[in-house]
């Protein structure tokens, strides 16, 4: 199961690179207002090229998927990325001048920390993922001079050569193991510093008990806190077969399970993950419909999108959840 989940990160990297190459990302309208995205494309292409020197196997998988990405996938990646970045940048701007930390749980190969650390000097960023994923990322970041310099990296001799810096930490941890998670995060975070948590297609791959234990720990331990979570939902209508088909495809092609896809199968059900806190949940189709005309014109000029109905079906089954708390959650 762990290996299968790690493979989803390579898919996400391929999709991200495709959206960048085609010009969907970065969005000058959504992403360029509060954060510096200079050299965004070059940064990601350098990551890919350096990945080839670290693991030809992973590079080959990423490159194959990259070559076969369709407009509907690029639009989906665009919606996923800009919706998370918008909320993240807004929250960080609110803490301008004050210490703040971001915990990217299951962040995989994501490079979100590079423009963020450049734009927000008060920020400390913690990347968390399975050891195999962090070891690959650590090697890529260390071997690429531009990334190494941007993050001011050093080798952490106490953690088998994993990289770190004064403001960036990359740690190996199985989020399903709550004891290990508490220990590892306790070593690199402060509980009383404002904390923003990102889980991007992470909770959906965890069991119900394990994901709830993670949510309970984070919301009880850190304050004030904010959680940004992006996940698929299975669908709650009687004739909605999206979740059933998705689960079957994942089992057949990846031997992969989404244990709570049909448990938190609607926006309302997904919000219950975070009770008693109030969660604000919107689907990605709503985000699509709110794209202003000038930005939509730019997007449509990049590729011809004729699968609008397919895009709608997919994006109504992905949600962005936002949760805030000012003091440790009491249950």
Cα separation, 285 vs 315, in Å, equals: 5
Count of alpha carbons within 13 angstroms of residue 310, beta-carbon side: 10
Other Cβ atoms closer than 10 A to 56 = 11
Instruction: Concatenate the DSSP letters of all residues of 168-194 into one string.
Output: EEEEE--TT-HHHHHHHHHHH--TTS-
Cα separation, 186 vs 104, in Å, equals: 15
What's the confidence (pLDDT) of residue 159? 73
Mapping DSSP onto H, E and C, the string for 54-107 reads HCHHHHHHHHHHHHCCCHHHHHHHHHHHHHHHHHHHHHHHHCCCCCEEEEEECC
- Known binding site for S-adenosyl-L-methionine: residues? 80, 106, 174-175, 200
What's the confidence (pLDDT) of residue 330? 55
Cα separation, 186 vs 189, in Å, equals: 6
What's the confidence (pLDDT) of residue 95? 93
Closest CA to 232 of 42, 19, 76, 39: 76
Specify the DSSP class assigned to residue 224.
S
The domains found in the chain, sorted by start residue, are: 2-325 (3.40.50.150)
- Known binding site: residues? 80, 106, 174-175, 200
Cα separation, 190 vs 172, in Å, equals: 18
Those residues with Cβ within 8 angstroms of residue 41's Cβ, 6 or more apart along the chain or in another chain: 20, 21
Query: Torsion angle, CA of 158/148/80/297, rounded to 10 degrees?
Result: 180
Cα separation, 113 vs 206, in Å, equals: 24
What's the confidence (pLDDT) of residue 329? 58
List the 318-325 sheet strands across, edge first.
154-156, 162-164, 168-172, 123-129, 100-105, 195-200, 225-232, 318-325, 279-283
- Supply the pTM of this predicted model: 0.95
What's the confidence (pLDDT) of residue 155? 87
What's the confidence (pLDDT) of residue 34? 63
Phi-psi map region of 270: left, alpha, beta (phi>0 left; psi -120 to 50 alpha): alpha
Query: Torsion angle, CA of 207/178/88/84, rounded to 10 degrees?
Result: -20
Mean pLDDT, consecutive 10-residue stretches, the chain (331 aa), reads 80 94 91 75 95 94 84 95 94 93 96 94 96 95 95 83 92 96 96 97 96 97 97 90 88 88 96 96 96 94 91 96 82 53
Residue keyed to tokens 């971001």? 102
């Amino acid at each position: 199961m762990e290996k299968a989940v790690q493979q989803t990160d390579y898919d996400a990297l391929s999709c991200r690179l495709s959206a960048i190459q085609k010009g969907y990302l970065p969005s000058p309208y959504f992403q360029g207002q509060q954060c510096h995205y200079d050299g965004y494309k070059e940064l990601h292409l350098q990551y890919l090229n350096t990945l080839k020197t670290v693991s030809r196997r992973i590079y080959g998988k990423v490159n194959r998927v990259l070559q076969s990405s369709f407009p509907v996938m690029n639009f989906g990646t665009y919606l996923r990325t800009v919706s998370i970045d918008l909320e993240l940048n807004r929250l960080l701007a609110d803490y301008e001048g004050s210490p703040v930390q971001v915990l990217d749980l299951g962040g995989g190969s994501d490079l979100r920390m590079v423009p963020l650390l450049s734009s927000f000097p008060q920020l400390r960023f913690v990347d968390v993922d399975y050891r195999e994923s962090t070891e690959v990322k650590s090697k890529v970041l260390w071997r690429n001079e531009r990334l190494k310099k941007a993050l001011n990296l050093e080798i952490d001799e106490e953690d088998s050569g994993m990289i770190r810096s004064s403001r960036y930490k990359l740690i190996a941890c199985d989020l399903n193991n709550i004891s290990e998670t508490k220990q590892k995060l306790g070593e690199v975070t402060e509980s009383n510093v404002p904390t923003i948590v990102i889980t991007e297609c992470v909770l959906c791959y965890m069991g119900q008990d394990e994901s709830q234990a993670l949510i309970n720990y984070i919301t009880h331990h850190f304050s004030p806190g904010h959680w940004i979570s992006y996940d698929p939902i299975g669908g709650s209508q009687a004739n909605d077969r999206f979740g059933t088909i998705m689960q079957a495809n994942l089992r057949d092609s990846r031997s992969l399970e989404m244990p709570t896809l049909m448990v938190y199968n609607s926006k309302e059900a997904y919000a219950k993950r975070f009770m008693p806190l109030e969660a604000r949940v919107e689907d990605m189709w709503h985000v699509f419909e709110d794209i202003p005309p000038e930005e939509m014109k730019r997007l449509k000029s990049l590729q011809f999108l004729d699968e609008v109905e397919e895009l709608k079906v997919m994006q109504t089954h992905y949600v962005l959840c936002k949760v805030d708390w000012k003091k440790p959650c009491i249950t």
